[in-house]
A and B are shown apart, each in its own frame.
Chain A
Amino acid sequence: MNLILDLNLIREADGSHIGGKALALAVLAGKGMRIPRAMCVTREAYDAYVGSTGLRERISLELSRKDFQDMRWEELWDASLRIRNMFLNTPMQEPLASVLRDALNESFGDAPVAVRSSAPGEDSAQASFAGLHESYLNVRGAYAVIDHIRLVWASLWSDAALLYRKELGLDVHHSTMAVIVQELVAGQKSGVVFGINPADSSQTVVEAIHGLNQGLVDGTIEPDRWLIDRSNGRIISHSPAGRTKIVVPSPSGVSLEPLPPELTQTPPLSIEEVELVNGLAIKAEEVFGNPQDVEWTFDGNVLYTLQSRPITASLQEGGKDDRSWYRSLSRSYENLKSLRAKIEGELIPGMIQDADGLDDTVLASSSDSDLALEIRRRLRINRQWDETYRKYFIPFAHGMRLFGRVYNDAVRPHDPYEFMDLLGSPDMLSIQRNRMLEHLARLVMHDPGLARALREAEDLRAFPAFARLFREFVEAFGDLSCYSAQCHEGDAPLREIVLEMSSGRAGAPRAHLRSIEQDEEYFLSFFPEGRKAFAADLLDLAKASYRLRDDDNIYLGRIKGRLTAAVEEARRRLRDRISPVPEGLGDEAVLQVLEDPEYIPAPPAPREAESSQEGFSLKARQLVGQPAGSGIATGPARVILEGIGLSGFKAGEILVCDALDPNMTFMVPLAAGIVERRGGMLIHGAIIAREYGLPCVTGVPGATTLIRTGDQVTVDGYLGIVVIS
C-alpha cells in the first residue's frame, strides 16, 4: 500500500487505509462536487512510524500503568498529554520522512494547507463525537506539514478519545490514523449544514460565520442559523448571531480577530447562498444515501465542500456517567477569559463576603432552635458555593491545561510538565499561610520559654509578639483543627505544627533554578513577534488558573469552617444530653437532635472486620502511580485519612493520603515526600509538592490501605513508583 495517495486516485476499496473522511471527499469529488485539492497519508504511514520508533510499546506502557477503571478524567488527560509529547519529540524516520516530504513538496510546495484527521472507523461510531481528533489550518512547507501530521496522529490518543475508548474500540495494537492534507481555501464565509436537524427531522440547519470555519467548529464563535423545510427547501427562520469575532489566516496558523465593523451588521450568507449551501446537503445525501453533516466555505462565489460525514444517532452522552461533563471542561481561550473575569470580579469577593458575614460569636448564646436555623443557613450557603465551584472554578483549571499544550507545542520539552515551572506563585494563599507558620516557628526556635509554653498548652500572653501573630494566623486561616483531627481540639494542632516546624527540619518553597522571568522570556522566544502578545496573555491566564485552583479551596475552606463551628456548638450541646455522642454523627442527625428534644440518634453500624484468607498474608512491595513531583525520598509513612493523623505529623515523614486539599497542606513543609491515591499532575498535592521541590507520586490505587503509618517508604518521583520496605 502507498504511504500517500492523491485524493483523485482513491477508490472505494481504499477505505480501510484512508479513513471515512478522506473516502467521503474522494467520492464527492468523483460526483463533480468542488473539493480542495488533497493528498491522503494512509494508515500505513502511521503504522510504520509507531512501529519503527518504539512508540507503539511506549503508548502501551503509558496506558497500562493502571487499570482504566481506576483512572480519573484528569489522569486520562495527563496520559494523553504525555503521549502527545512522545509524538512531538519523536522525529519521523527515513525513508518514511523523505517519501512524504517529496510527495508533499511536489503537490503543495509552499502553499498553505489544512492537515486533518481521517481515522479508519471514524465514519461510524466516531462520527458521533465532534472534536475527538485534531485539525490544523494554514500550515506551510513539507517540514511543517510533517510536524502537524504527527500532531494529528497523536490526537488518536486525545483525552476525549481515551474517555470514549470503549465506544470507539480504541486499542494500541489495532487503532490507527490516516491524515488528509488539503489545499487551504481561505474562504470569506464558512459554516456547516446539517442535512437533518437532530431536533426536528423535517428540517435542515445551516450555520454560518464570517471567515474560516475553525471558530464555529471549536465553539468560539456563535453562528447565524437558518432552518430550512426539507420537503420544499423554503427557509423557515433565520436567527442572527452577535457577530463580534472572526477567524482569519495568520503567519503562524489562524487567529481570532475582532470582526470588522462593516460585517457585524451583515449576515454571512445571502438568501441565495443559503440555498446553495442547502443544495450541498441535498447532493451529499443523494450520493451517500443518508443525511450528511457537511462543512463548507465560500471563496468569492465558489462554494467548496471541506468534509462530509453521516449524521448518526448520537451516542448517549450524560445520563448515567459524568463523561459529557468532563468533556465540557475543555474550554476555549475566550471562554476561559470570561470565566476568569467572573471568578475574580464576582465569585471570590462573594465568597469572602459570605465567610465574613457568618458570625460565630452569636452561636453560644443562641437557643437550640436558632442554632438549628443557623446551621441550615450555613449548610445552604455551603451547598451553593459547592455548586459554584463545580460550575465555574473547576472548568477554569483548564487554563493550565490549555497553556500546557501551547507550551509543549512551541518548546517541545522533554518533561511534558515543564510548563508548570512558569506558573508557580509565591502569592498563593496556601504558600502565604505556610510562610506565616514558618515565621511563627522561627520565633519559637529562638525562645525556649515560648517553646515550653506551647508544649505545656500555657497561656501565650507572656509572648505578645508571638501571640499577636498566632491570632492573626487563626483569623486568616483558622486554627487548622478541623483538618488535623476532630474539631474540638482547639488550637492544640496549630501549636503542635509550629513546635514541630521549629525543630529546624522543615522545608521551604524551593528556589527556582532560573528566575520565573527568565523562564517566561525563554517561552516567549519561541513565538514570532505577531504571536508574542497572545502567548503572554495565555501565560497570564494560566497563572491565574494555577493560583485560583488552590486559593478557591482556601476560601471555600473558610466558609466550611463556619459551618463546622456551628455544628461543633451543636455537638457540644449534645454531649450534655446524650453520652457518649455516637461517632460519625452526620450534620443532619445533629440538626434533628437540636430540633427534636426526644430524638435519640441510632448508633452507626459497626464496620465489618477485614477478611483475610487463613495461612497467607499479602502486602504491597512496590506501587505504581504518576510521577507528579521529581526527586526521591525515603522515610516513615504517615497515613492521613479524612484529616485524621495530620496532627502529630513529624518532620521527615512521607505523607500518604487519599486526596490532599489546600486546607491540609500546612504540614507539607514537614514532609519528605507525598503519595496520593487521587490521580493527576495538576491536583493540589502535585502543585504544592512542586512548590516545595518534594518527590510526589499521585494516582496510587489503594495507597492509604496498602501503606500503613510507620512503614518505611521510598517515593520515586521521577518514575512515579512507591517502594515499601
Chain B
Amino acid sequence: MDFEPREVDVVDVHQLSRELRELFSSQGLAVLSTHERGQPYCNLVACASTEDLKKLVFATTRATRKYENIEGDPRVSMLIDNRSNEAADFHEAVAVTATGRAEEVPGDERDAYLALYLAKHPHLTDFVMSPTCALMKVCVDRYYVVSRFQHVMVLDMDA
C-alpha cells in the first residue's frame, strides 16, 4: 500500500490518489511557496508529478530568489488546482496543497526525472537543459485536498 490512511478507509485512498493523478496530469502550472527568513514568497512553476505521487518536480534557474530561499530552508508548499476563474469554482474546483522538502535532483536520478518532466513540458527542453537550470524534486509528506468548497481531506505520505 502506498499511503498511510487517516480517517478514511483503503478504498477511498485509492480513489483519491486516482483523482490526484488525474488532476496533476491535467494541470501544467503549480504555485510554489518558499520563504526568506519567515517572509513567504510564491511563484508559478511548470510542474510534473511521479506516478506514486510522492514527488513533485519543477525547474528553476539557480540565480532566482526561489532557489536561494530553498537553499536557506528546503521546506516548501505547493498548490495545484483546476479553477477556471468562474463562480462555479466554489463548488467545482479542486485545490491540492502539498507540503514537503525540495532539493535539486541528484545526478543518478536526473535522467528519469528529466524524462518525466519533459514528457509533460516538451517545449521547456532548452530551459531545462541549460547548465544554469536546476531540476528540483519536492518529496511530499502531506497533501491537503480541498473540494466542494470546504471539504478537506488530509493524505499523509509514507516517508
Hey, which bits of chain A sit against chain B, CB under 8 A? Answer: 53-55, 57-58, 60-61, 622, 632, 634, 714, 716, 718-719, 721, 723
Q: Are B122 and A54 in contact (CB under 8 A)?
A: yes
Q: Are A719 and B122 in contact (CB under 8 A)?
A: no
Q: B61 touches which one: A57, A61, A716 (CB < 8 A)?
A: A716
Q: Are B123 and A54 in contact (CB under 8 A)?
A: yes
Q: Are B123 and A61 in contact (CB under 8 A)?
A: yes
Q: Are A57 and B127 in contact (CB under 8 A)?
A: no
Most buried by A among B122, B125, B126: B126
- With A58-B122, A634-B63 given, can you name 5 additional A-B contacts, CB distance below 8 Å? A54-B125, A57-B122, A57-B123, A716-B61, A719-B127
Most buried by A among B63, B121, B122, B131: B63
CA distance A721 to B64 in the complex (A): 11
CA distance A483 to B111 in the complex (A): 49
Q: Are A719 and B130 in contact (CB under 8 A)?
A: yes
Q: Are B123 and A719 in contact (CB under 8 A)?
A: no
Write the chain A residue with the least CB distance to B122.
A54
Q: Is B15 an interface residue (CB 8 A)?
A: no
Q: Are B132 and A719 in contact (CB under 8 A)?
A: yes
CA distance A672 to B122 in the complex (A): 33
Q: Are B123 and A58 in contact (CB under 8 A)?
A: yes
Say how far B19's CB is from chain A's closest CB, in angstroms: 26
Q: Is B93 an interface residue (CB 8 A)?
A: no
Q: Is B70 an interface residue (CB 8 A)?
A: no
Which residues from chain A contact B130 at a C-beta distance below 8 Å? 716, 718-719
Write the chain B residue with the least CB distance to A59.
B123
Q: Is B133 an interface residue (CB 8 A)?
A: yes
CA distance A699 to B131 in the complex (A): 21
Hey, which bits of chain B sit against chain A, CB under 8 A? Answer: 61, 63-64, 121-123, 125-127, 130-133
Q: A721 and B61 in contact (CB under 8 A), knowing A632-B132, A716-B132?
A: yes
Which residues from chain A contact B131 at a C-beta distance below 8 Å? 632, 718
Prevailing SS type, chain A contact patch: mixed
CA distance A438 to B82 in the complex (A): 61
Sorted from nearest, which 7 A-B pairs have the closest CB atoms? Answer: A54-B122, A57-B123, A718-B130, A723-B63, A58-B123, A54-B123, A714-B63
Say how far A616's CB is from chain B's closest CB, in angstroms: 20
Write the chain A residue with the least CB distance to B130.
A718
List 30 interface pairs A-B (beta carbons < 8 Å), by A numbering.
A54-B121, A54-B122, A54-B123, A54-B125, A55-B123, A57-B122, A57-B123, A58-B122, A58-B123, A58-B125, A61-B123, A622-B64, A632-B63, A632-B131, A632-B132, A634-B63, A714-B63, A716-B61, A716-B130, A716-B132, A718-B130, A718-B131, A718-B133, A719-B61, A719-B126, A719-B127, A719-B132, A721-B61, A721-B63, A723-B63
Which residues from chain B contact A57 at a C-beta distance below 8 Å? 122-123
CA distance A573 to B29 in the complex (A): 67
Which residues from chain A contact B123 at a C-beta distance below 8 Å? 54-55, 57-58, 60-61
Which residues from chain B contact A53 at a C-beta distance below 8 Å? 122
CA distance A714 to B121 in the complex (A): 26
Say how far A622's CB is from chain B's closest CB, in angstroms: 8
CA distance A719 to B63 in the complex (A): 12
Say how far B140's CB is from chain A's closest CB, in angstroms: 27
Which residues from chain A contact B63 at a C-beta distance below 8 Å? 632, 634, 714, 716, 721, 723
CA distance A93 to B121 in the complex (A): 17
Q: B133 touches which one: A60, A61, A714, A719 (CB < 8 A)?
A: A719
Say how far A399's CB is from chain B's closest CB, in angstroms: 27
Which residues from chain B contact A719 at a C-beta distance below 8 Å? 61, 126-127, 130, 132-133
CA distance A296 to B36 in the complex (A): 70
Say how far A479's CB is from chain B's closest CB, in angstroms: 38
Say how far A695's CB is from chain B's closest CB, in angstroms: 9
Say how far A428's CB is from chain B's closest CB, in angstroms: 28
Write the chain A residue with the least CB distance to B118.
A54
Which residues from chain A contact B125 at a C-beta distance below 8 Å? 54, 58
CA distance A634 to B132 in the complex (A): 12
Q: B132 touches which one: A54, A58, A718 (CB < 8 A)?
A: A718
Say how far A65's CB is from chain B's closest CB, in angstroms: 11
CA distance A198 to B127 in the complex (A): 49
Q: Are B64 and A723 in contact (CB under 8 A)?
A: yes
CA distance A723 to B60 in the complex (A): 13
CA distance A605 to B109 in the complex (A): 64
Which residues from chain B contact A718 at a C-beta distance below 8 Å? 130-133
Write the chain B residue with the least CB distance to A52.
B122
Which residues from chain A contact B133 at a C-beta distance below 8 Å? 718-719
CA distance A716 to B64 in the complex (A): 11
CA distance A647 to B125 in the complex (A): 41
Which residues from chain A contact B132 at a C-beta distance below 8 Å? 632, 716, 718-719
CA distance A201 to B79 in the complex (A): 68
Which residues from chain B contact A716 at a C-beta distance below 8 Å? 61, 63, 130, 132
Which residues from chain B contact A55 at a C-beta distance below 8 Å? 123
CA distance A634 to B61 in the complex (A): 14
